[in-house]
Chain A
Amino acid sequence: MAKGVRDKKKIGKAGVILIVISVLFVLLMLVLPLVSVIVNSLKEGFGFYFNSLSTKYVLSALGVTLLATVCAVLLNTFFGLVAGWLLTKFSFRGKQFLATLIDIPFSISPVIAGLAYIMTFGRLGWAAPIIDSINNTFGTDIQIVFAIPGVILATTFVTFPFVSREIIPVLNTQGRDEEEAAALMGAGGFRIFRKITFPHIKWATIYGVILCTARALGEFGAVAALSKTRGKTFTLPLEIDALYLAGSSDSITAAFAVSSLLVMIAIAVLVLRNFFERREL
């Protein structure tokens, strides 16, 4: 970091101007919205704040959100570890293509993710008859679209690459020599993973899990397409939407009160991120 030291001395006039522009931009564009949520949420006082957090709808939405988040995080962490191992410990044809496919959820509209499940499991979807016949044969009542499984799937879709994306770069820089040595000495796959690979990616995995959790808690577009019943399949962001669109001054303040929960989680994630980055250095 010698270059950093060299530059510290000469910030100069242009430097000061650029720093001022940057600080103002960050404060205005990024920090002010967070402050605004908190200010708006407390407009009617603490009593109103806690009351609006403990309504039947909000508590139900909290439960659905937590369930969907836990499922999505478990699935995507498992996937991230497996895909990370595959994409960094082996060379094979089509590897780059596979890596690109995993990143699809980053670049498509979440609304399309919701639509995709409707077109698969919904009334017109090709999988609907299969689920119907399962329900008929076993007397079950499995529903995917407009029910909890759909919410879980949509949440998993949008957060799919979050853990693998954190793990893969770390494993790439670590290389595969240690694993190869261990394998030549006769260690089994799971043992190699547990003793050699995982210690390297412990922090990256935890950080990926945190990011995945934050994103899963806040997913809106994909879930909005697949969830229609307030108090049953609504998640917190959908509840915020319903409260905000109800339009009365009280319900808007309640929307901000629920939002403030998610803002606090967002801030906690930022703090943890900083903590884990220092850990790695």
Chain B
Amino acid sequence: MDSDKKSRGKRVVPGFGLTLGITISMLSIIILIPLASVLGYSFQLKPGEFFDIMTDSTVLWAFFTSIVMALIAAVINVIFGTILAWVLVRYDFPGRRIMDGLIEIPFTLPTAVAGITLSKMYSTTGEIGGPLSALGIKVSYTHLGLIVALVFIGLPFVVRAIQPVLEKFDYQYEEAAYTLGANPRTTFFKVILPELRPAMITGFGLALARGIGEYGSVIYISGNSAKEHTQVVSYIIMQKLERLDYAGATSIALVMLLISFVLLLVINIVQIRQSRRTNNV
């Protein structure tokens, strides 16, 4: 009621109480209460128990693998995602609309399907893995395979974060830079890139968050070998669930939830700053 008076006066449109009630109830039943159950269970564990689970070398390696591979994939995605967004916004060429649609493939293709296909394509007998293995590069069942799968699923996050910013970008800045004698390269790195940075960070963060928790698309191509350190965190959680090791599964899930919460927070802060900046200009 208080915030209401401050901002808008009396609410005119009906249905506030009803929609608020339904939204919060459904959100709680489907998302919040189940997640709280995970937190609740993990808080019952003794600190020593939690510490033992988390410092197990398989678990530590899985976190290392998930985070580092997701980071590498997110960097690759920011580079190619920026190029793709740039090409889609700035140039008109035959097939541009189709290419724009194709960017969404990783969003609509089921992760398990992507997983088995990539695994087959990049295996030593596959369409791409065959020629590569002739050059001595193995992709499936190695870290390289993990990166390929994570690049696949993370790409649209980056492109779709940068595209709208580039579309709204004011051409006057670029023209001013050209008039003042800057070459295209200087203009891109000194004028355009700084403006795109928040969007690039948002895309990077979303791709990273998705990559760290990814399951379906990576478990086939990674080979899940403890010895080669190609197990990811989601795979370890699933393995512990199958062995009915709920203490282990929830402890790891707790750390994962913390990581995604921090990432979500950072992304939100960047986005709020970005909208403030663009609204003030």
Chain A residues at the B interface, C-beta cutoff of 8 Å: 3-4, 6-8, 11, 14-15, 18-19, 21-23, 25-26, 28-34, 36-37, 40, 75, 79, 82-83, 85-86, 89-93, 98, 100-120, 122, 124-127, 153, 156-157, 160, 176, 179-180, 183-184, 188-189, 192-193, 211, 214-215, 217-221, 224-225, 236-238, 240-241, 244, 252, 255-256, 259, 262-263, 265-266, 269-271, 273-274
Contacts and interface: CB of A to CB of B under 8 A. Distances in A.
Contacts of B111: 218, 220-221, 237
Given A217-B110, A237-B216, A33 B118 contact: yes
A19 B256 contact: no
B152 A33 contact: yes
What is the interface of chain A mostly: helix, strand, loop, or mixed?
helix
Contact of B109 (A93, A125, A218): A218
Interface stretch (B48-56, B100-108, B134-142, B193-201): B100-108
B44 to A, nearest CB: 10
Contact of B257 (A103, A112, A117): A112
A141 to B, nearest CB: 22
B22 interface: yes
| Most chain A beta carbons < 10 A, residue from B88, B110, B127, B151 | B110
B220 interface: yes
Contacts, number: 291
Interface in B227-271: 233-234, 237-238, 241, 246, 249-250, 253, 256-257, 260, 263-264, 268
B37 A120 contact: yes
Nearest to A39: B127
A29 B104 contact: no
Contact of B84 (A26, A115, A126, A259): A26
A108 B249 CA distance: 15
A268 B116 CA distance: 21
Contacts of B18: 189
A14 B86 CA distance: 12
Given A26-B102, A111-B215, A115-B38, A180 B110 contact: no
